[in-house]
Structure 1
């Protein structure tokens, strides 16, 4: 009986494990020309603006923006910003509510979720604004 219950549990849980990562082409088609807002565990996390040519602008919601580029690496989308901190690689999935992203090899439960889409550019006055 335990084997049957385990088998039923695995079948019910299968869709969450059966997600297919987006290809670079699918990701590019989805994001180019958009500004996407992301949250983690219901808390606002950051905003990324996606430009043609795989160029991006990221902000942690602090009015400071980082310019960078993205590129595919296997099933991941990697981002490199001009701050020189090296690639940050994510696996993206398209779900009913938008994008879901999992950082490198982080376990399920630590994902970022798209919460809003905009055509407006980021406002990036930066930390050194003023006299």
Structure 2
């Protein structure tokens, strides 16, 4: 009997928890509106910063000073970004994880962690929308 109970206990611990559901548009909006987030893989320099405004407007800033204005919108389980001057949207899956927001490409590659950007992010030269 003990062997059966031990086997059941070990089996339940070995199985991963059900996959977390991607954030829907309204939940994503509630988390990001009014914030500036740093995007990058853990342990790597930031890939960029995104400022989120009302009406789903955004400004993307790269560390080299490149800035793009655009909008985000939900598309199924994905959150997509359409930037001025870019022919195609960029779509990601987002997950809430404590103080961070995790994002991945829809194929599961390139996971990134997003946290609040440092206060000196304005040094990247963007004329932030709404400021």
User: Normalised by the shorter chain, which TM-score bucket?
Assistant: 0.7 to 0.9
Range that drifts further, 80-89 or 45-54 = 80-89
Structure 1 CA distance for aligned equivalents of residues 70 and 87 of structure 2: 11
Counterpart in the other structure of 1:52: 54
TM-score by structure 1 length? 0.77
- Alpha-carbon distance between aligned partners in 2 of 1:33 and 1:115, rounded to the nearest angstrom: 13
- Residue 78 of structure 2 corresponds to 76
Structure 1, unpaired ranges of 5+: 127-131
> Which is higher, the Rg of structure 1 or of structure 2?
2
Q: Which residue of 2 aligns with 1:26?
A: 27
User: Cα 1:77–1:120, aligned 2, differ >3 Å: closer, same or farther?
Assistant: farther
Q: Deviations over 1:82-123 (max 9, x none)?
A: 12231111111000132001112134xx21101334678745
Structure showing the higher strand proportion among its residues: 1
What is the CA–CA distance in structure 1 between the aligned matches of 2:120 and 2:76, rounded to whole Å?
A: 31
- Aligned residue for 1:105, secondary structure, equals coil
Q: How many matched pairs?
A: 119
Task: State the TM-score, normalized to the length of structure 2.
Answer: 0.77
